[in-house]
Amino acid sequence: MRYQHQWLEGGAIDLPVGQVVCVGRNYAAHAQELNNPIPDEPVLFMKPPSAIQPLDDKLAIVASFAPVHYETELAVLITKPLFHATKQAVEDALGGMTLALDLTRRETQSRLKQKGLPWERAKAFAGSAAIGRFVAVPDDWREVVFALSINGERRQQGNSASMLMPVIALIQHISQTFWLNPGDIVLTGTPEGVGVLENRDLLSLSLEGQHLAQPQVVVQSDEAFIQGKSA
């Protein structure tokens, strides 16, 4: 299924599908669980629009990419251009929030890191950004809570209060390097509890106590993935 920004309550969001700007190691406990140092500044990387799939009833993974790890993240939708943005400009430009899965080929990532090479093969592959349906942004970003359960077992519990750099300051920081445009999405980092996805796993994601999505993992062939993407 082709991706288009959508509201949880129904209806498409009239914005183009842009880039996905991702943040690594924005939760100290997650950095520690992967034996990574806590960074002095956010670790930034990108996923292209072609990496996005909708986070609905099915989470598609190409068999040749497996094993794939999940990383649940609070995601925000940019609705106005931002570059060297002020705090107020960022607040005015955030038009929706949702949850996303930053899917990761962890073994490939480790190999690339050891060689000092870029991460794109591990982080920006086809289908690696699963984006949920959006809800309205909160009045206060300081304690936004979210959760992921797999097969009825809680795996990740996140709270924006635990971020090393909070949402508004984070997007200000990103705008010092990248030009953010309407339709871009920013993923704000994942809490601890990441792990491998298995075929037929049933996921349940909630944001601020509201059910967002309940996709099932489907590991499929290249041909099946192409047909689903073009439908």
Domain ranges of the chain: 20-230
Q: Which of 5-14, 25-34, 46-55, 196-205 has the lowest mean pLDDT?
A: 25-34
CA dist list (Å): 163 to 17, 83, 141, 158, 175: 26, 22, 11, 9, 18
pLDDT band at 215 (very low <50, low <70, confident <90, very high): very high
Q: Can you give the pLDDT at residue 111? A: 95
The model's pLDDT over 141-200, given as tens digits with 9 standing for 90+, comes to 999 999 999 999 999 999 999 999 999 999 999 999 999 999 999 999 999 999 999 999
Q: Which residues of 34-68 are buried (b: 16+ CB within 10 A; e: fewer)?
A: eeeeeeeebeebebeeebbbbbbeebbbbeebeeb
pLDDT band at 72 (very low <50, low <70, confident <90, very high): very high
Q: What is the mean pLDDT of the chain?
A: 94
Domain 20-230 class, CATH top level: alpha beta
pLDDT band at 35 (very low <50, low <70, confident <90, very high): low
Tokens 């924006």, residue located: 160
The model's pLDDT over 89-138, given as tens digits with 9 standing for 90+, comes to 999 999 999 999 999 999 999 999 999 999 999 999 999 999 999 999 99
Q: Which helix (H) or strand (E) holds 204?
A: strand 203-207
- pTM value? 0.95
Query: Nearest-CA neighbor of 26 among 15, 14, 34, 18?
Result: 34
CA angle (84 as vertex; 166, 187 as ends), nearest 5: 40
Q: Can you give the pLDDT at residue 191? A: 94
Query: Nearest-CA neighbor of 92 among 182, 190, 227?
Result: 182
What's the number of CA atoms in the CB half-sphere (13 Å) around residue 42? 28
Q: Can you give the pLDDT at residue 108? A: 95
Beta bridge mates, 148: 156, 205
